[in-house]
Structure 1
Amino acid sequence: MTRVKPVEPAPGPLEGFAARFDDLFTHLAQRRGFREYLTGLLTPRDRNKTLTCLAGAEPVVGSKDPAVQRLQFFLSESCWDPDEVNGRRLELLAADAATAPHPGGVLVIDDSGDRKDGQVTAFTGRQYLGRLGKTDNGIVTVTAVWADERVYYPVHAEPYCPVGRLEGGKRDRGFRTKWWLAADLAGRAAEDGFAFRAVTGDCAYGDIDNFRAALRTAGLPFVLAVRARRGTWARERSAHTPQDAARALVWHGPDAAGDWQRIERRRRDGTCHTWWAAEARLGGWGPQGPTRLVVATSDPATLPDKTTWYLVTDLPAPGHAEGPHPPAGLPELVRIYGLRNWVEQSYKQVKDELGWADFQVRSSLAIRRHQALVHCAFTFCWTDYLTQPPAMDASALERGHFRPAPSIAADPLPATCPELATRTARRALLADPGHHAQTLVAHLVHRAPAP
């Protein structure tokens, strides 16, 4: 039997993480490429994490550097399966008590679009990019993220292929809508043993009847948002939209709440915010039907657009006829959807720090490999973060937009590496999630053996 050749170890604690994937690579060059790619993704840079950046070479002129060419071959030509790498990553998450999925978590369905020039790159096309808020040329990836109040991480991701890239258009046998991909990702997560209380997502998915029907057929509970003005057929004097149904609820102020129930939402900064939630009725949606309509808001009198949620769920109401899933009260439904809001912010920002959209490859296989490697880097950040968590009690605290950034000054870097993780954030919302990606890597490089 041929002896496996040893590979140069990755810096610091990254080697212990990378070594768990060694048996998935058949060649020394693959194991080395895996470590070099992760190291490049995790190291703070002042420019996009293209292949030249990951290899530490000069832009453009350094593209022919041997280190850059090795990473290019590893990503585009080498023989390894990104699904096997992602499967091993999920096994490691499930085996760790700190990150193992449990029935109290949620599965967040979301998609993110990144701008890409040209038409040669796989999955590229003119389509709506939520990050830019407009239609442009780019790539959209549908993602399933598992989360609870303490941890969140991607489970599966699938790039969306625009209709314009298929010969048969929407009639092409390979065409899949975003909601179809999302339902498939949720089913795969359940098959992989990732327990969760419900699938949650914003109105981009909640408004789609076929998506909700697909989840119901698969036996997956959901708590999804719908648009405030999503219309439905009803009698002239009845409510026609979720917002109409909310305005029909009785409210005479905090001391005479009527149909509304007080919900206390406690965030990680220790502050408590009072919200109100109520069961509403719209068409066939209601507390006694197979689908409930729940309204949660910070002010039932005005229903402000930015702090009002209109949620549909197939989780039965307490005290009513039980279905295949345990009943859920209004506080639990607010909690479930509240997790989605935090994940959408922090997860996308950390992906930016790890170079999610900075790849310079063309083929669909290479793009999937890059995404799998970014997910591995993201998982390593959590692994190292939970090994030495900050002095903050996260129990019973809700994730939210107002979570303060952990103090980096409380764990200062040695003076020997002042250049690490010192650049300012590119935008205000980056402070908290950047702690995981940048500060941890600074420690990683500091612990590395001297060259």
Structure 2
Amino acid sequence: MDVELQILKHLARDAHPTVAIIDEYCAEYKDLFKEVRNYECFKYLHLGIISTIKRKSLPEIAKVVSINSAQSLHHFLANSDWSVEELKQRRLNKLKQILNGQTITVVIDETGDRKKGKKTDYVARQYLGSVGKVDNGIVSVNAYGVYSNITFPLMVKVFKPKGTLKEGDKYKTKIELASEIITELIEEGFNIELILADSLYGEQRVGRLCRLEATANPKGESSQFIRKLEEYNLAYVVAIRSNHGVWLPAGQSVRANKWCKFERTFSNQKSETRYIREIIYGKKRAITYWEITTDPETMPENSTSFVMTNLQGNLKKTLGDLYGLRTWVEYGSRQCKQELGWTDYRFTNFQ
């Protein structure tokens, strides 16, 4: 619209354009911002995040998008009157609209990244998967959706260690956060076909046993997370530790079936040989346990997985590909998260 006409009609000016892909994506959220300046900052942040700059801090983003100061970006995040919850809901609604009822696989993953200093909310010394040790950093529990080899983020919840809680915060374990995510996704109306998760979410909390050993357990086998999946009748494939315990009645034993060779097919359609066998605890049951490896003789630690599932049928040819999807989604999402600046931000009023 002509600028003079906008002024005469007391209409808001048009937002400055950025690049086509950013303008097209952000247009879906334009009505959530009352002021043009806030909408422009929303677009500038997206533009900066996908740029090639090394650090995705506000000052660096301001430079790359050619605005005079990072103050406007800071004001947009800290003080302007737009709703984070409305933005999240709009994004989820858009996903549901595109999926149109199609089933998705959901991958649950927790990731931790090193953070310097102590000013960022919920940073503490804790185990960080990205560095493989305890360090100063932040941890989140994430849910990714997979549809037709397309992976997309669904939800994220930041883990809040006990020593970092603020007034009004309630301590929740990572398993509790993951269980909340499942409930919220179901209540949102997503059609979930399968849940994939690592060993944190597959383990029981009643003790550990050596591999292929068992004993009796009056409390049942399922962790809180598994019980939540069963509550919603969801199919799952979750990792377990090699010393996972399964409780058996007296007189029942554990046996391992013969190894079966299969071709693990990757998303690029390349394949590699893998081996799989079922571990049977006593009698056949609804939940089954499997070992998957690249070498059944040496069972290398970094390429051997122990999984349990409630899927039924002949799983020898399919289970390896299903579980392998979790590894590649986690790896790819970790790279994207770091590229988009997850380790560069510093929030002191996290919501």
Is the shorter-chain TM-score for this pair beyond 0.5, marking a shared fold? Answer: yes
Amino acid in the other structure paired with 1:77 = N
Shift of 1:345: 0.9
More deviation in 25-34 or 188-197? 188-197
Unaligned runs of 5+ in 2: 1-8, 205-222
Distance 1:3 1:330 in 2: 64
Deviations along 1:291-332, whole A, 9 cap, x unmatched? 2112222333443322222111122x22xxxxxxxxx73333
Question: Larger relative CO (CA 8 A, sep 6+): 1 or 2?
Answer: 1
Matching of residue 341 in structure 1 with residue 341 in structure 2: no
More deviation in 294-303 or 356-365? 294-303
Contact 1:108 1:144 in 2 (8 A): yes
Distance 2:330 2:274 in 1: 21
2:230 match: 216
Secondary structure of residue in 1 paired with 2:237: strand
Amino acid in the other structure paired with 2:321 = R
Match 1:294 to one of 290, 307, 311: 290
Distance 1:295 1:355 in 2: 36
Contact 1:101 1:196 in 2 (8 A): no
Shift of 1:236: 10
1:70 match: 72
Matching of residue 310 in structure 1 with residue 306 in structure 2: yes
Shift of 1:127: 1.3
1:229 match: 243
Work out the number of aligned pairs and report it.
Answer: 325
Shift of 1:67: 2.8
Matching of residue 194 in structure 1 with residue 190 in structure 2: yes
Counterparts in 2 of 1:7 and 1:250: CA distance versus 1, 3 Å: closer
2:98 match: 96
Deviations along 1:369-428, whole A, 9 cap, x unmatched? xxxxxxxxxxxxxxxxxxxxxxxxxxxxxxxxxxxxxxxxxxxxxxxxxxxxxxxxxxxx
Shift of 1:269: 5.0
Instruction: Provide TM-score, normalisation by structure 2.
Output: 0.83
Contact 1:41 1:354 in 2 (8 A): yes
Distance 1:313 1:160 in 2: 26
Matching of residue 41 in structure 1 with residue 49 in structure 2: yes
Distance 1:17 1:270 in 2: 30
Match 1:14 to one of 10, 22, 27: 22
Distance 2:270 2:139 in 1: 36
1:151 match: 150
Contact 1:186 1:199 in 2 (8 A): no
1:394 match: none
Amino acid in the other structure paired with 1:354 = L
Deviations along 1:229-252, whole A, 9 cap, x unmatched? 22455699976xxxxx6xx4344x
Deviations along 1:332-378, whole A, 9 cap, x unmatched? 3222211101011111101111111211321113xxxxxxxxxxxxx
What is the 5 A alignment of 1:356-395? 356-365=342-351
Distance 2:10 2:323 in 1: 52
Amino acid in the other structure paired with 1:17 = Y
Counterparts in 2 of 1:157 and 1:268: CA distance versus 1, 3 Å: closer
Amino acid in the other structure paired with 1:25 = F
Higher strand share: 2
Counterparts in 2 of 1:2 and 1:207: CA distance versus 1, 3 Å: farther
Matching of residue 174 in structure 1 with residue 170 in structure 2: yes
1:134 match: 133
Distance 1:333 1:2 in 2: 62
Match 1:29 to one of 37, 43, 51: 37
Amino acid in the other structure paired with 2:47 = T
Distance 2:337 2:137 in 1: 16
Distance 1:331 1:192 in 2: 33
Counterparts in 2 of 1:147 and 1:269: CA distance versus 1, 3 Å: closer
Shift of 1:268: 4.6
1:351 match: 337
Shift of 1:56: 0.8
Counterparts in 2 of 1:162 and 1:88: CA distance versus 1, 3 Å: same
Distance 2:55 2:101 in 1: 33
1:408 match: none
Secondary structure of residue in 2 paired with 1:364: coil
Amino acid in the other structure paired with 1:342 = W
Distance 2:10 2:156 in 1: 36
Counterparts in 2 of 1:238 and 1:296: CA distance versus 1, 3 Å: farther
Deviations along 1:243-274, whole A, 9 cap, x unmatched? xx6xx4344xxxxxxxx443222235553222
